[in-house]
Structure 1
Amino acid sequence: MDNRERTDSQAQAQASIIVVDDDQRMARMLRRNLNAAGFQVSLAANGRELRNAYRHRQPDLVLLDLNLEVEDGIDLAVELVAATSAAIIIITGRDELNDRVKGLDAGADDYIIKPFDIDELLARIRAVLRRRSLELPQTNQLELGPFCLDRTARTFCRVGSPPTCITLTETEVRILSILILHNGRVVSREQLMSREIKSPVDRSIDVHIGNIRRKLKQSKLNDIVIWPVRGFGYRLRLEP
């Protein structure tokens, strides 16, 4: 087993997943395939069942349908981000760009459109779990010039009196951590996202980057910039 396979196996071993979908046939199909892939799976048909499930056992990942009868999936994604440390993959038939942006902005790690191939879904699940399990420095704070990223509080602040801060999602914290650790060097989209998902139409990492940029701009943190490198990725730099 090579390092890549070992990392996937470690990320996947005993990982707990909640499938939130009111289509019972779809939910049972997902549970069957996820169980066969080695995951522990619980089903929830609505927000009430989801809350009961994650209060009894903190999941590693939630597969969340947006089209639920009673509650909107976007609202549940926001709730999950606030209440748990679980990764979130939205699975839905809503394929409008605005829906994808809303889902990722709410804190989802990935977004996949129905109908989908089960092998692609499994690849995306492994990719998200691998990103969550990547080892970063033990310190909860990373510094770059006058800026400090607090990974526990999920804040990025310019030191001062008073400090100017933005609040980040779990995924945004990980992206910013990787960019800071590369200290101005270019980071590929694959490094920030996934080495498995190669589809050129998958732009979720760009949405996350766009959200970070928007937060920086709104808080007037204009002296730190995430620059795109055409055809490759991004790099973080301080502006004079």
Structure 2
Amino acid sequence: MGLALQRNLKRAGYQVVHVDSGQALRHAYRRTQAQLVLLDLNLGAEDGIDLARELIATTSAAVIIITGRQELQDRIDGLDAGADDYIVKPFVIDEVLARIRAVLRRRAIESDPAETIVLGPFQLDTINQTLDRNGGQDACLTLTGTETRILGILLRQYGRAISRDRLSSRGAVDASDRSIDVHIGNIRRKLREAAMDELVITPVRGFGYRLRYEPLEPDADHDD
């Protein structure tokens, strides 16, 4: 991390710890439980993508990759690893600060302890683990705890592509063995069986899933 970026982060009110190796990063995280890691892919001798995967699987920190690697495949690899963002050098410091704020806001929304999440006529009760439409008058279904958490993230981040690693909630579900896909499949089946066809979960190839809300068209009036 450059000195100019460190100074600006401190000026913006962040506590900054600078390390120059993967091992030092592990020690620093255990000591500080940092909310966010700015990870250079060329940190010491370790492979940066592998280190990003380790951080995402074993910590609760948000991870933003900052690197001089500009190839499209490097970006894809970084985001597929579960990084929250990917910034290429050279960068404008104000943009880095804005991206940090955006990632932390997004994380705060995902961890919102609100009991009920609303989208259109749908309400997800995260305490009772139920999803209903129009207060349960039209349809209601019961979810498992894992399904409730996954659907909650998709609803809060409506319209966004969410990575498998984020849906896995940092290791609560094993994204690597595709079990997240099984949970998504179960949610889709329950939505279909409850005739909640307006909620559509679609795969984002090589990344994760996105939830869309597609209100059903009202029945056309028929001429007498």
Give TM-score, length-normalised by structure 2: 0.60
Unaligned runs of 5+ in 2: 116-125, 132-140, 168-174, 189-199, 204-209, 215-224
Q: Is the 8 A contact 1:216 1:222 kept in 2?
A: no
Unaligned runs of 5+ in 1: 1-20, 151-155, 158-172, 190-204
Give 1:101's aligned residue. Answer: 76
Alignment of 1:58-207 (within 5 A): 58-134=33-109, 135-138=112-115, 139=126, 142-144=129-131, 145=141, 147-148=143-144, 150=146, 156=147, 176-180=151-155, 187-189=158-160, 205=161
Specify the code of the residue in structure 2 equivalent to 1:36: R
CA RMSD of aligned residues (A): 3.5
For the residues of structure 2 that align with 1:141 and 1:104, how far apart are their CA atoms?
Answer: 33
CA offsets, 1:28-55, max 9 Å, x none?
A: 2221110011100000111011011011
Shift of 1:178: 4.2
Specify the code of the residue in structure 2 equivalent to 1:235: R
Does residue 18 of structure 2 align to residue 43 of structure 1? Answer: yes
Specify the code of the residue in structure 1 equivalent to 2:11: A
Q: Which has the larger radius of gyration?
A: 2
For the residues of structure 2 that align with 1:216 and 1:81, how far apart are their CA atoms?
Answer: 17
Q: 1:149 to 1:93 in 2, by over 3 A?
A: farther
Shift of 1:114: 0.9
Q: 1:70 to 1:128 in 2, by over 3 A?
A: same
For the residues of structure 2 that align with 1:100 and 1:222, how far apart are their CA atoms?
Answer: 31
Specify the code of the residue in structure 2 equivalent to 1:92: T
Give 1:221's aligned residue. Answer: 185
Shift of 1:149: 5.2
Specify the code of the residue in structure 2 equivalent to 1:86: A
**Alignment length, in residue pairs?**
166
Q: Is the 8 A contact 1:141 1:149 kept in 2?
A: no
Q: 1:141 to 1:95 in 2, by over 3 A?
A: farther
Q: 1:221 to 1:69 in 2, by over 3 A?
A: same
For the residues of structure 2 that align with 1:125 and 1:141, how far apart are their CA atoms?
Answer: 34
Seq. identity, %: 52
Give TM-score, length-normalised by structure 1: 0.57
Shift of 1:58: 0.3
CA offsets, 1:82-112, max 9 Å, x none?
A: 2211111111111222222221222211111
Q: Is the 8 A contact 2:129 2:142 kept in 1?
A: no
For the residues of structure 2 that align with 1:36 and 1:115, how far apart are their CA atoms?
Answer: 21
Does residue 215 of structure 2 align to residue 235 of structure 1? Answer: no
